[in-house]
Amino acid sequence: MSVVEFEYKSGFPGLRLTHSNGDASIELLLYGAHVLSWTVQNKQLLFLSDRAVFEQGKAIRGGVPVVWPQFGPGPLPQHGFARVKTWRVGKTNIDGDVSVDLNLEHDEETLKLWPHKFHLTMTLRLSEKSFVQELTVNNEDSEAFEFTTLFHTYFTVDDIKTTKVFGLNNVTYLDKVDGGKTKTETNQSIEFTGETDRVYKDGGKNGNPLSIDGRIQIIASSTMPDVVVWNPGQEKAKGMADVGEHNFPKYVCVEVGHVSDAVKVGPNQSWKGAQEIKLLQ
Ligand code: BG6
């Protein structure tokens, strides 16, 4: 059981969490509180692009970006600023499971972009075949604020063309590649035949286990009811400098969050959202 600091790349310090029997590990950066790697028995379960860019202010393609306080485009930079800020290491624990807290507070730069005082804690807890990621948002302001948020998880898959995402049958979704039309999922599983970018509203609340090929299960807290399913497909991937045509078949994003409408947190109040990711096979 250990938490070890290391330098992932120059200027990008990280932490490596290792579970007692050494069979599971997680690597995360202070930059973005960004989980880059999760291995169980030496098998990598998260996708990180070989073209990912590691530069201050830029988002990293792969792993688990933390989207906060804005999902998608809007007045703030795409997907908010939490993923491009450097967090501080807080409490670590190596009794039982291994866990670490990372913290982020408002600063001059965030106040210019988003005029609210906040304190975020991202807690990561690694178990033998699973991990839990929890985001706590404290409002340290004298007025309420609103946000949307998401754990933007990139999972490795053998081939996107044979990948199936289960657990969203009968759920209403917004189809971003079909002009934002609202549709209902009629299939037992989602398959990928081209660019796919959908927001399943309350997808995590329909009682069906959310899984990728019955191999990986994703369990969201009731405060993170929406599920985004995204793969850029061949053409779009080709045009994305940090993805490339060779990478689109290797991953699927299944992202749980609160994005269909905003979370409102009053002064001195807090909110928590979490995901648990389990390796089933
Ligand atoms: C998904 C969105 O969550 O993130 C997509 O639904 C978006 O529309 C994708 O393309 C990647 O976003 P980014 O900012 O990391 O390129």
- DSSP secondary structure string for all residues of 21-71: TSSEEEEEESBTT-EEEEEETTEE-B-B-TT----TTS--SBSB-EEBS--
| DSSP tag of 47 | -
- Predicted local distance difference test score (pLDDT) of residue 20: 80
pLDDT band for position 204 (cuts 50, 70, 90): confident
Q: Whose CA is nearest to atom 6 of ligand 1?
A: 197
Catalytic residue among 79, 152, 185, 258: 152
Contact 128, 252 (CB under 8 A): no
Residue 87 predicted with pLDDT over 90 = yes
Any catalytic annotation for residue 109?
no
On the question of a cis peptide bond just before residue 209, with omega within 30 degrees of 0, the verdict is no
Q: Which string of DSSP letters, residue by residue, matches 122-139?
A: EEEEE-SSEEEEEEEEEE
User: Quick one: what percent of the chain has pLDDT higher than 70?
Assistant: 100
pLDDT band for position 155 (cuts 50, 70, 90): very high
pTM: 0.98
pLDDT band for position 99 (cuts 50, 70, 90): very high
The letter for the amino acid at 34 is H
Provide the sign of the torsion angle of the four alpha carbons 237, 242, 245, 249, taken in this order. Answer: negative
Taking 3-state DSSP, the helix, strand and coil percentages for the chain, each rounded to the nearest 5, stand at: 10, 50, 40
Q: Is the CB of 226 under 6 A from ligand 1?
A: no
Query: What value does the mean pLDDT of the chain take?
Result: 97
Any catalytic annotation for residue 106?
no
pLDDT tens digits, 18-48: 998 779 999 999 999 999 999 999 999 999 9
- Cα–Cα distance, 173 to 93 (Å, whole number): 39
- Cα–Cα distance, 153 to 35 (Å, whole number): 9
pLDDT band for position 16 (cuts 50, 70, 90): very high
Residue 151 CB contacts under 8 Å (≥ 6 apart), including other chains: 64, 66, 67, 133, 135, 224, 255, 256, 257, 275
- Predicted local distance difference test score (pLDDT) of residue 230: 98
Residue 168 predicted with pLDDT over 80 = yes
Mean of pLDDT values over 166-170 = 96
pLDDT band for position 137 (cuts 50, 70, 90): very high
Domains of the chain with bracketed CATH: 2-279 (2.70.98.10)
Residue 91 predicted with pLDDT over 90 = yes
- Predicted local distance difference test score (pLDDT) of residue 132: 98
- Cα–Cα distance, 72 to 65 (Å, whole number): 13
Q: Is the CB of 201 under 6 A from ligand 1?
A: no
Q: Which residues partner with 153 through β-bridges?
A: none
Mean of pLDDT values over 218-238 = 97
Q: Is the CB of 101 under 6 A from ligand 1?
A: no
- Cα–Cα distance, 197 to 253 (Å, whole number): 9
Residue 78 marked in a binding site: yes
